[in-house]
Structure 1
Amino acid sequence: MTDLSNASLAALPADIARPGYDRSAVTPGIVHLGVGAFHRAHQAIYVDDCLAAGETGWGIVGASLRSPDTRDALAPQDCLYSLAVRDGQGESLRVVGSILSLLVAPENPERLLEALCLPSVHIVTLTVTEKAYLRNAAGDLDLAHADVMWDLAHHDRSKTVYGFIVEAVARRQAAGIGPFTVLSCDNLPANGKTLRRLLLQFAEARDAKLAAQVEQSIAFPSSMVDRIVPATTDADRTRVAAALGVADAWPVRTEPFSQWVVEDRFPAGRPAWERFGVTMVDDVGPFEDMKLRLLNGSHSAIAYLGLLSGHETVADAFSDPMIRRFVQGLWNEAIPTLPDNAGLDPKAYIGKLTDRYDNPALQHRTAQIANDGSQKLPQRIVATAVEQLRRGGAIDHLALVVAAWIAACEARGGALDADLFTDPLDAQLAGVFAGLSSAAADTVSQVFDRTGFATGQAERPDLQRAVSAHLDVIRNAGIGAAIATLAEG
């Protein structure tokens, strides 16, 4: 079968949407770090819309900081790929052309630095996931991390986002090229402020004058992103190829819903994203909190409760009445922690979430969501629980999510496959999760110490006690019994 490419676009079936612009006339205006399935289903789509509307100065140079897989799949296709939007009614396909080139930083870091220094590049975006921010237990940049230390010593052979961005700032300044804006699209609270703080810590460790340049010239707007993007399967590739009539090595599957809320601070310019559904705001914080606590928090709950209950997908787990009731209870605990004067509508939002979780077409695997729990739970669950405790509110459901994560980690290699999901702290937590000989309270105490959950918070002991009580029930009677205790209460 012929591969998807610029040359094969004209032969696609008439009902397949495709780039309605001359890709050869597009110039790069954005460098995206961490190109992967989510970026290709989210930010790249909004940019594709802008390109189709005639804003041809915003093509994307995508870069992977680790694996060459995306480049190897898409480069032979002229970086084209298809987006499959699925729900219970069927599937629609669209070929996306906004990514102009794909780089692999470990293979040639200089090429990425050259792209970051193009005068036409005005925005650097990131979806590198929480663990790539390389924070220590206190939430600061881990200056003792091997990759950070390498970047401080080898400016032209960077490995981290900090090394690449700071070196690019230095080079652009030396060449008289104006600064770019750095836009985080990761699921972190105040992601722009967080990235700015960490990047300044790196720049300060490298050169105080350079840190001052970063602080004075670079804007770091925060953003909130939301779209469910399950991992692509071979079945997806086969189905998409049959519909296109050409082979696509890496299509992306997603849901109809998509949301992007962005703080409107782009001194170097930006695409007219608002024309295509992006919400441009002064403060993204309230929207971000609602998403982290209601969507991401319930996603983690469904993942760990689902795995412990034998459910492979979100739709399967959410169709379990026990888990469905639990998620509603979790939302009831989280909603009071949201601001009531920011124009939010939590009830309407969870109504949309319910519809999304009920979508059987996505086949979003609980094991995929379960990855990196030690990095995700602080924002999604722990912060919410701490806020509820301060308010004098209940945390039964919130604490059970943390206990379920611990129980799922402990179950790997036993009731669950050993490699079903992973965590950046697996090596540090291996001894804690090695067996069930420790009392639940001891296990929870060690986990909180190693992960930094609620460090420095007066509410930490109360949260640990609640998590310990749930973990004890899970260990002795199972996840169903633990959920049942909430219904009884």
Structure 2
Amino acid sequence: MKELNRKNVSTKALPVKILQFGEGNFLRAFVDWMIDKANKQGIMNHGILVAQPINQGMADLLEKQDCLYHVYLEGIKDKKPVKEISLVESIQHAINPYTSYEVYEKCFLSPELEIVVSNTTEAGIRYEEGDDLNAKPPKSFPAKVTALLHQRYKAFNGAADKGLMFICCELIENNGSTLREFVIRHAEVNNLEAAFIDWVKNANYFYDTLVDRIVPGFPKETINEIKEEIGYDDNLVVKGEYFHVWAIGGDPVIKEKFPLDKAGLNVLFMDSIKAFRDKKVRVLNGSHTAMVPVALQMGCKTVMDAFNNPLVEKYINKMVAEEVLPAIDEDPEELKKFAAKILERFYNPYIKHYLETISLNSLSKWETRDFPTVLDTWTKFNKLASLTSFSLASLLVLYSGKSKIDFVANDTPEHVVFIQQNFNTADVEASVKAILGNKQIWTVDLTQVTPLVSEVSKMVTSILNDGMEDALKKVFENKKLASEIGK
């Protein structure tokens, strides 16, 4: 089997126009894969220099293969299985700034550099008090950016056309805006010149983004078969789902400089990603969070197991169609198309997405992802979103320790203890009232939806007495009766 390197593969050298902080599976199967596609179609001509954000990383492994690797995608498109295998050639070099600081600095000061991409994990965009801007490099990501921008500002005498575009992929809200805020704060605390701060604000762009693709990573279990299939000894294969979407919000100049959408990729440019984020969170993440406690208590282990169960499949599809989408203020037909693409991913047999993994921190997830549907349905239509509320009842039973399955909640310990200590099967309504009224567990008042306590209590009682399957069937029947009464 051939080694994977640029001696055995004919590739074209690309000018390094992108500095990327992060060398992990997600960026390589998402951003670098997209840039590679655009390069090969002649839409872009952008090489990438990858820099490890921390001292331990994969730069050496990438360099060992001359930064070449395959992305192996499997999924469902238009209800049919699809597979795509791509050799990604966009990364030109990978370095460790802690051992190759001069190479890293040279890239940042290059006139060719236009864009900085980052995925430094949720903990990466943080403000670290006292971070030394003169260190080589500073410790935190925002301090690294501040130091390098200051050097670039001085190298080009504050030229307006030498600012950079920062495209952040960290999974936090307002990722680019937050990075900008912390860079300015570091500059101010370190008494850097006011003209530099103005240059940061006016010559550089910081974009908020939302990324979405499931990337399990290196396919350890099947790597030998995959190597045979691709014909190379590739030890950096990244496996992911076929679906992808990247929403980028901010100044429209990004469209010309980073035209990934013209390569047929699902990249969306918009002034603000807030509305798109809210929609995606309610439909995709809200469905996941609602499904987990129901499906687990019906014996399912993975998302695929859940959607192979006709009752769970019906539950999620009905919840999205009848409660989630009507509560979102957008064109109904466009919402249906959006939801169809999202929910199609649940049928992907190639990705093992474990429900117990998704269940991490379900209390806060339910509040941010599912309660908005319950609240909007109540305030806009004066009725209870009963299917969405059923997921809360299921979650309370799952966390209570009274469920019929063995389950250990992976959540804030004191919140789980409170639920278990206050869950009294002899007085379910008092228990639900105490739990929903706990201001330490919830950051919003769930009881502002007047019927929530009483209706969730009835659902909890039904789950305990009838079992999850029959309880869910009762919710379907009650919703149908309520609909007929309303006619």
Q: Same fold (TM over 0.5)?
A: yes
Q: Which residue of 1 aligns with 2:7?
A: 7
Structure 2 counterpart of 1:170: 150
Partner of 1:438: 422
Taking a change above 3 Å as real, the CA distance of residues 385 and 354 of structure 1, as seen in their structure-2 partners, is same
Instruction: List per-residue Cα deviations over 1:82-135 (Å, max 9, x = no partner).
Output: 11122464633211111223345677788756644443322222334545445x
Aligned to 1:124, the other structure's residue is in SS state strand
Residue 345 of structure 1: how far off its partner (Å): 0.7
SS at structure 2 position matched to 1:30: strand
Q: After TM superposition, give the deviation of residue 291 of structure 1 in Å.
A: 2.0
2:225 is the counterpart of 1:239: yes
1:54-69 equivalent positions in 2, closer than 5 A:
54=42, 57-65=45-53, 68=56
Which deviations, in whole Å up to 9, do the C-alpha atoms of 1:411-452 show, x marking residues without a partner?
A: 7xx96676xx96xxx6xx223335822345555555x626xx
Residue 48 of structure 1: how far off its partner (Å): 0.5
Partner of 1:182: 166
CA distance in 2, matches of 1:195, 1:471: 44
User: Following superposition of structure 1 onto structure 2, how do residues 125-140 of structure 1 map, counting pairs within 5 Å?
Assistant: 125-134=117-126
Structure 1 contact 64–105 (Cα < 8 Å) conserved: yes
Match of 1:31 in 2: 19
Superposed CA RMSD in Å reads 4.1
Aligned amino acid, residue 319 of structure 1: N
Amino acid at match of 1:431: E
CA distance in 1, matches of 2:191, 2:392: 40
1:449 is matched with which residue?
A: 440
- Superposed CA deviations along residues 26-47 of structure 1, whole A, max 9, x for unmatched, are 1222223344323222222221
Separation in structure 2 between the aligned mates of residue 74 and residue 336 of structure 1, nearest angstrom: 47
**Counterpart position of 1:101:** 93
Structure 1 residue ranges without an equivalent (≥5): 11-20, 135-142
* Distance change >3 Å, CA 78–CA 325, structure 1 → 2: same
Deviation at 1:293, TM superposition (A): 1.7
- Pair 1:154–1:270, CA change in 2 (3 A): same
The one-character-per-residue Cα deviations of 1:439-469 (angstroms, maximum 9, x if unpaired) are 45555555x626xx5x3x5666549848974
Q: Which SS does the other structure have where 2:229 is aligned?
A: helix
- Residues 283 and 212 from structure 1, CA distance in 2 versus in 1: closer, same or farther, beyond 3 angstroms? same
Q: Give the conservation status (yes or no) of the 8 Å contact 1:389–1:459.
A: no
Task: After TM superposition, list the pairs within 5 Å mapping 1:67-106 onto structure 2.
Answer: 68=56, 70-71=58-59, 73-87=61-75, 89=81, 91-103=83-95
Q: Deviations over 1:377-412 (max 9, x none)?
A: 56533444444444345344445556666776777x
Alignment partner, residue 273 of structure 1: 260
For 1:115-159, what per-residue CA distance to the aligned partner results, in whole angstroms no more than 9, with x for missing partners?
44443322222334545445xxxxxxxx6xxxx235378765434
1:89/1:476 CA distance change after superposition, 3 Å? closer
Question: What SS does structure 2 have at the residue aligned with 1:222?
Answer: strand
Q: In the alignment, which residue of structure 2 is the partner of 1:250?
A: 236
- Which residue type is aligned with residue 89 of structure 2? G
56 and 89 in structure 1: CA distance in 2 versus 1, 3 angstrom threshold: closer
Relative distance call for 1:2 and 1:373 in structure 2 (3 A) is farther
The 5 A counterparts of 1:43-58 are 43-54=31-42, 57-58=45-46
d(CA) in 1 for partners of 2:363, 2:198: 33
Query: Residue 300 of structure 1: which of 289, 296, 302 is its match?
Result: 289
The alignment partner of 1:82 has SS state of strand
C-alpha distance in 2, partners of 1:45/1:397? 39
Contact 1:105 1:112 in 2 (8 A): yes
Q: Is the Cα contact below 8 Å between 1:151 and 1:157 reproduced in 2?
A: no
**Could you say which structure has the larger radius of gyration?**
2
Closer, same or farther: CA 203–245 of 1 in aligned 2, 3 Å: same
Structure 2 letter corresponding to 1:340: E
Equivalent position SS for 1:431: helix
Whole-angstrom distance in 2 between the partners of 1:56 and 1:69: 28
Question: Aligned pairs, how many?
Answer: 450
Normalised by the size of structure 1, how large is the TM-score?
A: 0.75
Q: Is the 8 A contact 2:117 2:167 kept in 1?
A: yes
The residue that corresponds to 2:141 in the other structure is 161
Q: Where do 5+ consecutive residues of structure 2 fail to align? A: 424-430, 479-487
Instruction: Give the distance between the partners of 1:393 and 1:196, measured in 2 at CA.
Output: 42
In the TM superposition, what is the alpha-carbon distance from 1:241 to its structure 2 partner?
Answer: 0.6
Q: Distance in 1 between matches of 2:399 and 2:106?
A: 42
Indicate if the aligned counterparts of 2:43 and 2:262 stay in contact, CA closer than 8 A. no
Q: Is the 8 A contact 1:152 1:206 kept in 2?
A: no
Distance 1:369 1:168 in 2: 38
CA distance in 2, matches of 1:228, 1:460: 35
Q: Partners in 2 of 1:64 and 1:386 — Cα distance? A: 43
Q: What is the match of residue 200 of structure 2? A: 214
